[in-house]
Amino acid sequence: MTQDNITVQATISADKNKVWEYYTKPEHITKWNFADSSWHCPSATNEMHVGGHYVARMEANDGSFGFDFAAVYTEVNPGSDFTYEFGGRYSTVTFRETGDGTKVIVTFDPETQNPIELQRNGWQAILNNFKTYTETN
């Protein structure tokens, strides 16, 4: 059974160039890429081109668990959008200028181990962290 894609979004009060940079540069990714304060992202690498690799290390603050979120870019349109593949699933991230700033829209294929709502809430929490980080830096 195929699940519908999941979409999360947030409008960031910043221009599109800053939003793109903060979303794609490793030195920024490590500051916001976690769902809650009990986790962190100690390292990230990002090669923003088709065939390029993205790796973000995700770890519980207490050291009890960690994993690498790894992906390969299948499409990159600088400043506009990109798509990457991770474990047979795909995600597309789109950046749209609005009157209020920049809307970031993340659409991804769900996995089958966790409930859809849990996945949506986790990805939304990460995007909310990104919004807060970008707007305050």
The first and second tokens of residue 80, run together, are 């506009």
Does the predicted TM-score (pTM) go above 0.75? yes
Residue of 2, 14, 3, 19 whose CA lies nearest to 93: 19
| Whole-number pLDDT of residue 106 | 98
pLDDT band at 3 (very low <50, low <70, confident <90, very high): low
Distance, CA of 116 to chain centre: 17
**Average of per-residue pLDDT across 110-118:** 95
pLDDT band at 1 (very low <50, low <70, confident <90, very high): very low
Distance CA 109, CA 104 (A): 17
Neighbours of 72 (CB within 10 A): 13
| Whole-number pLDDT of residue 41 | 98
Query: Is the CB of residue 94 less than 8 Å from the CB of residue 71?
Result: no
User: What are 53-94's pLDDT values in tens digits?
Assistant: 999 999 999 999 999 999 999 999 999 999 999 999 999 999
Locate the domains of the chain by residue range. 6-136
Query: Is the CB of residue 40 less than 8 Å from the CB of residue 135?
Result: no
Residue type, 129: N
Tell me which residue has tokens 């870019």: 73
Neighbours of 116 (CB within 10 A): 12
**Average of per-residue pLDDT across 116-129:** 97
Class of CATH domain 6-136: alpha beta
Whether 2 has a pLDDT exceeding 90, the answer reads: no
User: What are 4-58's pLDDT values in tens digits?
Assistant: 999 999 999 999 999 999 999 999 999 999 999 999 999 999 999 999 999 999 9
Is the Cα torsion angle 70, 25, 95, 79 positive or negative in sign? negative
Whether 124 has a pLDDT exceeding 60, the answer reads: yes
Please report, for residues 29, 41, 43, 49, 125, the alpha-carbon distance to residue 64 in angstroms, rounded to integers and kept in the order given: 22, 14, 17, 33, 21
